[in-house]
Structure 1
Amino acid sequence: MGLMGCLAVTVVAAFSSLAQDSASPGLAETAFGTPDSVAQPVQVDARGLRLSRQRQDQAPLEAVQELASGAPPPSVERHLTTWSRDIASGETLDAMLRDAGLAASDRVEVALALGAEYDLRRLQPGHAVTVVTTPDGAPRRVLLEVDDGIVVETVFGERLTTRVITPEPEIVARVGEAVIETSLFAALNGADIPARFAVDLAQMLGGNVDFRRDLGGGETLRLLWREARVGAEIVGQPAITFAALDLGDVIYEVIWPEDGSGRATIYRDGEVMRVFSQPVEGARLSSVFGRRRHPIYGDIRMHTGVDFAAAHATPVHATASGRITHVGWLSGYGRTVEIAHGSNVVTRYAHLSAVPEGFAAGQRVAAGDLIGNVGATGTATGPNLHYEVLVDGRPTDPLSDDQLAAAAQITAQEENAERRLQEARSRLQDLLTSRSANPQNERI
């Protein structure tokens, strides 16, 4: 008992001595200082989400709740470590997480959590992984940055949570001018204009302009388009709003709508020439009308329509008002909808994956109405819309058929169409004029 009493007195004296010492600077900072950021929960500003690429960067202390909140303060973790870098070619997520120092069991848990919100088979070079770990190497937070500024975030706390952060893009107006010398694609590339616009122009003007034969060199093309941006990165595909092609003896102008209706108005020397209501908004024209090598059978045969490549289930819209004459399966075409426009013009929409419930022959539809979804039914190598125009039962090039164009005319008065053209011209000219003085893009 005497020995135990002596030990107790010694321990009490030691703690009494420690209590009289001032707190270390680090401890004082933890107890009274204001940390730089909150680690859990995390609010992310999606506009400026691009993360630091520094390895082993020391994260600040976890925030201490204000005393006024009345809630008990959380436990404070110090020296959280942030590891981050881009995915290299051929690299797997597991390899990156291993490089970040995560144990095998943690890597599996992270992969399962991220994979629940994003298909990890779609990972590619340029995507980025950020791992925040505690001093003992356990994951606190993992972020996967993918396309279009989208981030998948997994947080390890009392329970594991995963969310997808989709940034709100800023819409930017761009303008460009190109002189065509050799080809449309080369002219767009040389003027820092998206070359994919050549397809849009061919789709709109292909029935009136032969871009291989009618261009002798020196033709001027001016374009106005929109881009969605998150920071400095472009997300999604740019979209044309206005194009003016000066061939010398004639000027073609096209106005694309910004209301999502898909109807583009085409002008020739300032007069409305036709209105084209695109069946699949934003789709790529993957095959044109005419003889071609069949993608499945391999022989040369007539392609009786045009193909629009688009993702499975993308909405398909009627290009003109009319009456449904067929809904069902056609050999080779798969699931198909046919619409009659007057007595001798029929449009055919093939390879559909689905049609609206209750859709039946005899119903009337308006230009722009939903009539189905893109699919790969019938003889198709992948999801696309096969679109045909038949005049008196014979296939006609959909991009040059004047009878269908007349059926698709908008009901707006001609002076309204003229006003829209003047507004588009003025905006294009204003941006071209101010571009050299102020290279900053116009925010819409």
Structure 2
Amino acid sequence: MKNNIEALEKTRHPLLGKENAVVEASRCINCYDAPCIHACPTSINIPQFISRIANDDLEGSAQSILESNILGYSCATVCPVEVLCEGSCVYNNLEDPPIRIGDLQKYAMAHFYEKDAQQRLDSLSNTSVTGTGGIKKQDIKVAAIGSGPASLAFAAYIVLNGGEADIFEKEQEAGGLNTYGVAPYKISYAESLKEVGLIKDLGVNIKTGVEVGKDISGADLLSNYDAVFIGNGLGKDNFVIDLESLDNVQGALPLISSLKQGDLASIQGVVRALVIGGGNTALDIAQELALGGVEKVTMAYRRSEEDMSGYAHELKLARSLGVEFLPNHSPLNSLKSEDKQNKLSAVVFATPSGEVSIGADLVVFATGQLKHPLQDIFADIKLNDNGTVAVAKDMSSNLDKVYAGGDSVNNGKEVVNAVAEGRQAAYSALKKSNKEVYWGRFSE
């Protein structure tokens, strides 16, 4: 399975060699008011970082990326560039292939991570934004709940502007979905932790194994910090029919987490796998199962292909791996195994032509996630009707000093959206505390 995943990663986002990177970077025409910048939620100065690659200035290229997106490596690999920056490249209008922005960004960031920790810190403290040659300390201390991309960005941009930041994470490793929930063919467990390592090296204190609301209260955070950021994402997988207790039924995220950490026990001996859902997580796990050697992988979705939230390019890739996609299949109930084991043998679906049953050795639900009970942490926090945190444009909540971002606000957008929201919250917290903002590219 590992070799299959590595092969797919090389196909999706190959690590370019120097000659190919320079040739590709030289194709960029440095557009005025570049549409690729507008298409990037973190507004990376894409023409700038690409031109620096063309001129063999890889340190400057990485600086251009990190000023806007501190998680530039993971976003280069997991971002749906086909519908973001590359999808907006002007070459698309000329019927030429768009600039390979994701591959070029990965090239620059891979070079950055070849440096040792001190070299990386020196590079970050001497950028075109600050020109200071060092980080100026400021009296502001913040806390973040959860350690996913939004919290990592929030904490990093606070620290890079001279403040202090503590992150509280209930899991044993930081990184959120990058570490535990994004398919390993997109980003590996080790690659995610490499970026977490950068955040730690900056001086962010990440306290793992600590659950806010259980081990420490929201009131304690408000008493001890100048700002608190809610970035703990979404909760457990949502099982649309009650099958969670069966041995061969899993939620997509726990299964992806196991596979990322090399635990293949759940798929050993599986010949037929059934994935229920039509989003990008469903597509991720379907592809993982196909790469893992499962002979028949079927994906069933309750609506039409046009209605699915998963990206068309991901569905195309899944089909190329042999995944069967069945639209207009709404799960009704299950058929238990006849050998009295705690397993099901099939799931019954309603379809336009009547009920059908689909047999499977493994059933995976990728039908969304439940929300965390945030009002157990902050009783008066205002939530939207869908359970996400209600925030203003500056990412502030209705509670003084409390900000939020990532999946707990956007209900499951991309990693790059989470980074943008965490960065914006950091800017807002700094401004509200009357602190100087001198590192990073922010929007008012």
* Larger Rg, first or second structure (1 or 2): 1
Q: What TM-score range do you get, normalising by the shorter chain?
A: under 0.3
Higher helix share: 2
| TM-score (ref. length: structure 2) | 0.24
Larger relative strand fraction:
1
